[in-house]
């Protein structure tokens, strides 16, 4: 038996938090397609056969469409490269999305993320984050993940209140929520905080009933497209959703099923349990594009001269407009050149 499985077997027996270590060991085994020493698998079956995470792992193995396995130790970086999806200058975003899947019982909440806030100037690629989050959510569908996207810039309203936000979220979480008899009351004489808390409770309840961990992506929170800067009540509602996602509020309803991605949200966000990550991005520069090509070539065992990579970087940066589409156009061009690396 190799050293690593020996260490894992010992921790399986000794670890006082089986759910926490079960998650770690299942992730470890899946990363190498369960090609481990049989003694490790036997320990898993003996110790955790009653745990849901182990049953879920068995379900993924026996699924009609088998899961895709990746090379450790950095599972997510190979995913990004193999996906042909350049996500440039986003180290915090990468780690945060990975942290969406980590259980809250991790020691000291290490690596756990429940809320990701991405800010930056126009053209830096905030909205491009959506493609990455949605793909990873699709990949993690084997782990019962789903994502919804709400573009506030597309809403023809001048004052985006809590009811507007609640309706948009529910329309995607449960398209039949109105037919199901769910009602969202207008603010009456009760305190606004109590009303907002009720709206958030309805959302959390519907997310939990859907049966999948839900990544709610809110785009356009910095205004524009007809949506003015958010009123105080809507900011309070987002703060309430952050609390729920971090299971600090209404835990009996949320059951740790909600994740939030806030794009262009420039307001302070309380970091519950250290589960909130914020990344302030800047427009993509040469270094990020160069590193993408180097990583891509390395992953496919290709050797490219430094001058050749610099030529590709120059070509990618040429004639790209400095507007909101800049990051997407750079990514598309970088992808085209990266595919050329493999075909050369």
* Phi then psi dihedrals of residue 259, to 5 deg: -125, 150
Mean pLDDT across the chain, nearest whole number?
75
Torsion over CA: 224, 225, 226, 232 (sign): negative
Q: Kindly state the tokens that stand for 215.
A: 């990544």
Summarize pLDDT for 275-314 with one digit per residue, the tens: 999 988 888 888 888 888 887 777 677 888 888 899 999 9
Do 147 and 134 contact (CB within 8 A), yes or no?
yes
CB atoms within 10 A of CB 202: 19
Torsion over CA: 320, 322, 328, 331 (sign): positive
DSSP designation for 114 = S
Q: Kindly state the tokens that stand for 310.
A: 């610099």
Considering the domain 106-280, what is its CATH architecture?
3-Layer(aba) Sandwich (3.40)
CA dihedral 322, 227, 210, 261 (to 10 degrees): 40
Q: Kindly state the tokens that stand for 10.
A: 């010992």
Q: Which residues contact 252 (CB under 8 A, 6 or more apart)?
A: none
What are the extents of the domains in the chain? Answer: 3-61, 106-280, 286-343
Collapse the DSSP code of 116 into the 3-class scheme (helix H, G, I; strand E, B; otherwise coil) and give the result.
strand
Summarize pLDDT for 55-70 with one digit per residue, the tens: 777 676 665 544 444 3
Task: Using a pLDDT cut of 90, give the percent of the chain over it.
Answer: 21
Cis check for the bond before 143: say yes or no (omega within 30 of 0). Answer: no
* Phi then psi dihedrals of residue 305, to 5 deg: -65, 150
Collapse the DSSP code of 227 into the 3-class scheme (helix H, G, I; strand E, B; otherwise coil) and give the result.
strand
Look up the pTM and report it: 0.70
Res 35 pLDDT > 60: no
Per-residue pLDDT, 4 = 44
Task: Using a pLDDT cut of 70, give the percent of the chain over it.
Answer: 64
């Amino acid at each position: 038996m190799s050293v690593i499985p020996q260490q894992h077997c010992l921790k399986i027996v000794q670890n006082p938090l089986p759910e926490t270590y079960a998650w770690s060991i299942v992730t470890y085994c899946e990363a190498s397609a369960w090609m481990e020493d049989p003694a490790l698998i036997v320990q898993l079956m003996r110790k955790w056969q009653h745990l849901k995470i182990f049953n879920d792992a068995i379900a993924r193995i026996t699924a009609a469409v088998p899961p895709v396995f990746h090379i450790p130790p950095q599972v997510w970086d190979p995913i990004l490269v193999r996906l042909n999806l350049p996500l440039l200058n986003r180290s915090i975003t990468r780690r945060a999305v990975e942290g969406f899947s980590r259980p809250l019982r991790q020691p000291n909440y290490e690596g756990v993320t429940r809320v990701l806030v991405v800010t930056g100037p126009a053209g830096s690629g905030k909205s491009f984050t959506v493609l990455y989050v949605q793909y990873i959510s699709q990949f993690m569908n084997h782990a019962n993940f789903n994502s919804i996207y709400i573009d506030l810039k597309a809403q023809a309203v001048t004052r985006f209140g809590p009811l507007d936000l609640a309706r948009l979220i529910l329309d995607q979480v449960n398209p039949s929520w109105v037919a199901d008899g769910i009602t969202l009351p207008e603010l009456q004489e009760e305190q606004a905080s109590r009303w907002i808390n009720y709206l958030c409770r309805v959302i959390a309840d519907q997310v939990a009933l859907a049966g999948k961990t839900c990544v709610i992506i809110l785009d356009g929170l910095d205004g524009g497209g007809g949506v003015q800067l958010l009123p105080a009540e809507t900011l309070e509602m987002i703060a309430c959703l952050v609390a729920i996602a971090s299971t600090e509020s209404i835990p009996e309803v949320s059951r740790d099923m909600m994740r939030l991605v806030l794009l262009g949200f420039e307001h302070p966000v309380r970091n519950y349990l250290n589960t909130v990550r914020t990344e302030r991005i800047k427009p993509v520069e040469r270094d990020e594009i160069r590193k993408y090509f180097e990583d891509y070539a390395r992953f496919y065992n290709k050797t490219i001269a430094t001058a050749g990579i610099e030529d590709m970087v120059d070509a990618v940066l040429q004639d790209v407009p400095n507007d909101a589409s800049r990051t997407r156009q750079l990514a598309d061009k970088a992808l085209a050149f990266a595919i050329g690396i493999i075909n050369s």
